[in-house]
Amino acid sequence: MRTGWIFKTESIIMPAVIDWLGGTGLLRGFLPMLNRFGQSIPPLLLSRRIKLLGQKKWALTICGLVMGLCFLGLSAIWLLAGGHTATWMSTAFLIGYAIFFMSTGVHQLTFSTLQGKLIPVRRRGRLMLVANVLGALVAITCAGILLRQWLRPENTNFMWIFAFSGICFVMSSLTAILLVEPRDAFRQETQGIAGIFKSTVGILTTDAAFRRCSMVAALFGCSIMLMPHYQLLGRQTSPGYENHANDLSVLTLWVIVQNAGTALFSLLAGPLADRFGNRLVLRVLLLFPVLAPIVSLTLAYSDPMVQRFYPVVFLMVGPTPIVVRTLNNFTLELSAPADHPRYLGTLNLCVSAPVALSPFVGWLIDVFGFGVVFSGSSLITLGCWLLTFHLSEPRSPPSETGHKQETGIDSG
């Protein structure tokens, strides 16, 4: 899964596809919106169904297959286009992107639910560490060998990039069948769509600890809106951009740096979460989306010697998926096992709510430039970081966590 993901990095490869097709900031802004819509609404609507499944691994397998088929379909479109651009390709790309992330949202909900079911709470940090570090090593190796070949100057081959991602997702989905998972026997009355959203409001109004977590998640979501714009800022301000706008060869280095950053921060976040809790991890990692917009502006508008350090920006963006995973793990500790799908679905909705404005933010960048928008995002994320000091730590003291730390499996 991680190897396939690096070939479609959301902050680098996917927005570069939109730019290659002639898109604007407004169009790039649809990427985070579709991304977060897919990771919030479908999981929320299907959380009850996932909860009632006797074995969740089959949902994980099906979602992974759909994710793979989406990218194999995009690869087929690029094959038919023969390396040329057409107006309809942007629409087809966004439709495939939307379907992919609707599947991804349910996939991640199912994965997190399975993790809460099968993995003891104090081993989840180590699991995150091992998965991110080993996954990054394999993914970076593949990117260094293959992505470099497919992003050559004046010879960008998105067909093979999409095909490779699709194959990786399909292979990942098939490994889920091998999971040894005991059957669940949960029961829950049918709610309907109105009942689902009423339940979400109920969680936010009755659970003060989770409500504070959801506020952190929502403010963090504002930083996600900048993700597709970092790569264009770095390319546009580099010398000679006007003559080589479609030269995407630099993206390979940026992808490798970002994924290396994810692996490096995992080395810190995993053991820290296991020993001191996820709240401290959030306090550390959320400093990076606070600083990344300011650092990117500083480096991009400096002299060419300083601009060479622009990859540092993607190192700072690297913790983003770890923040999302840490928020998920924090939520798992705040809720009982039977409520995990509902709470995770609500959390995803909170992260995604501000991202609905992402196309508007892209338009603002088109009109006013990067400076105002990036600075504003940094201030909002600073407020997010300050809110982490008001989060409740569910592991302190241990006697108060009770059933919330139980996983339903003997922790050994």
More confident residue, 120 or 402: 120
2-178+192-405 architecture in CATH? Answer: Up-down Bundle (1.20)
Q: Where are the domains of the chain?
A: 2-178+192-405
More confident residue, 123 or 207: 207
Average pLDDT over residues 94-105: 94
Asked if residues 300 and 369 have their Cβ atoms less than 8 Å apart, the reply is no
Q: Which two tokens stand for residue 212?
A: 């504070």
Average pLDDT over residues 76-100: 90
Query: CA 247, CA 249: separation in Å to the nearest integer?
Result: 6
Q: Is-cis flag, bond preceding 153, omega within 30?
A: no
Question: What residues have CB less than 8 Å from 385, skipping those under 6 apart?
Answer: 283, 286, 287, 290
pLDDT in tens, 375-390: 999 999 999 999 999 9
Of the candidates 142, 160, 167, the residue with the CA atom closest to the CA atom of residue 70: 167
- In this prediction, residue 263 carries a pLDDT of 83
Does residue 393 come out as left (phi exceeding 0), alpha (psi in the -120 to 50 range) or beta? beta
Query: CA 44, CA 344: separation in Å to the nearest integer?
Result: 8
Question: What residues have CB less than 8 Å from 325, skipping those under 6 apart?
Answer: 128
- Rounded mean pLDDT of the chain? 86
The model's pTM is 0.82
- In this prediction, residue 284 carries a pLDDT of 94
pLDDT in tens, 38-80: 988 888 888 778 877 888 888 899 999 999 999 999 999 999 9
